[in-house]
């Protein structure tokens, strides 16, 4: 069994993957890091040079590879659940946790992360808060369909979120 973290950028997937893996005694992976390592360039450059479809193909291969392992906490990229094949692989691999935050919180977190602009491409012409609002509206039904658990990250520390996730998994809450 694995634990797969989904959600928009800057919702805490990588931070929580590391903490959950440490607590569970599992390994963990950030799929975006794996994609960049395999491609030999940042995601923004993959988008620029090869296009989004090529990136999504790399992403799907990486999802399949890591979901085929056991005892791994997987931090996905925000768009990983967009493809049905990825959703199937995630659900078959273990528990899927959707981390949420408001568009304003996501935007503020992204503004505070110096690596966002370098590593992550704008996904729409509008960019910024407008992009976040629009993409969240498109992605939320997909995230909801994919997730076993929904965790709101607003105003909560990583340690609080860790305890909630572990507590809810332990009692088997699903699709809430």
Please write the tens of the pLDDT for every residue from 24-64.
Answer: 999 999 999 999 999 999 999 999 999 999 999 999 999 99
pLDDT at 122 over 80: no
**Entry pTM:** 0.91
68, 51 Cβ separation under 8 angstroms: no
State how far the Cα of 146 lies from the Cα of 144, in Å rounded to an integer.
5
Work out the burial of residue 75: count CB atoms within 10 Å of its CB; fewer than 13 is exposed, 13-18 middle, 19 or more buried. buried
Phi-psi region of 143 (alpha: psi -120 to 50; beta: other; left: phi over 0): alpha
Q: Tokens 């994609």 correspond to what residue?
A: 35
Cα torsion 121, 147, 19, 106: sign: positive
- pLDDT tens digits along 148-168: 999 999 999 999 999 999 999
State how far the Cα of 87 lies from the Cα of 64, in Å rounded to an integer.
10
**Radius of gyration from C-alpha coordinates of the chain:** 15
- The helix/strand/coil state of 96 is strand
Please state, for a pLDDT cut of 70, what percent of the chain lies above it. Answer: 89
What is the number of residues in the chain? 176
């Amino acid at each position: 069994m694995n634990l797969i973290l989904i959600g928009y950028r800057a919702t805490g997937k990588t931070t929580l993957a590391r903490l959950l893996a440490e607590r569970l005694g599992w390994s963990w992976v950030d799929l975006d890091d794996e994609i960049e390592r395999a491609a030999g360039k940042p995601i923004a450059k993959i988008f620029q040079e090869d296009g989004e479809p090529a990136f999504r193909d790399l992403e799907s291969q990486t999802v399949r590879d890591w979901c085929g392992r056991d005892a791994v906490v997987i931090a996905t990229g925000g768009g990983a659940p967009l493809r049905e094949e990825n959703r199937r692989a995630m659900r078959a691999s273990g528990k899927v946790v959707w981390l949420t935050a408001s568009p304003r919180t996501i935007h503020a977190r992204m503004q505070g992360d110096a690596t966002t602009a370098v590593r992550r491409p704008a996904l729409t012409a509008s960019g910024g808060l407008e992009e976040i609002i629009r993409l969240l509206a498109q992605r939320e039904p997909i995230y909801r369909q994919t997730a076993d658990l929904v965790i709101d990250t607003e105003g909560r520390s990583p340690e609080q979120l860790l305890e909630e996730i572990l507590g809810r998994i332990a009692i088997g809450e699903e699709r809430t």
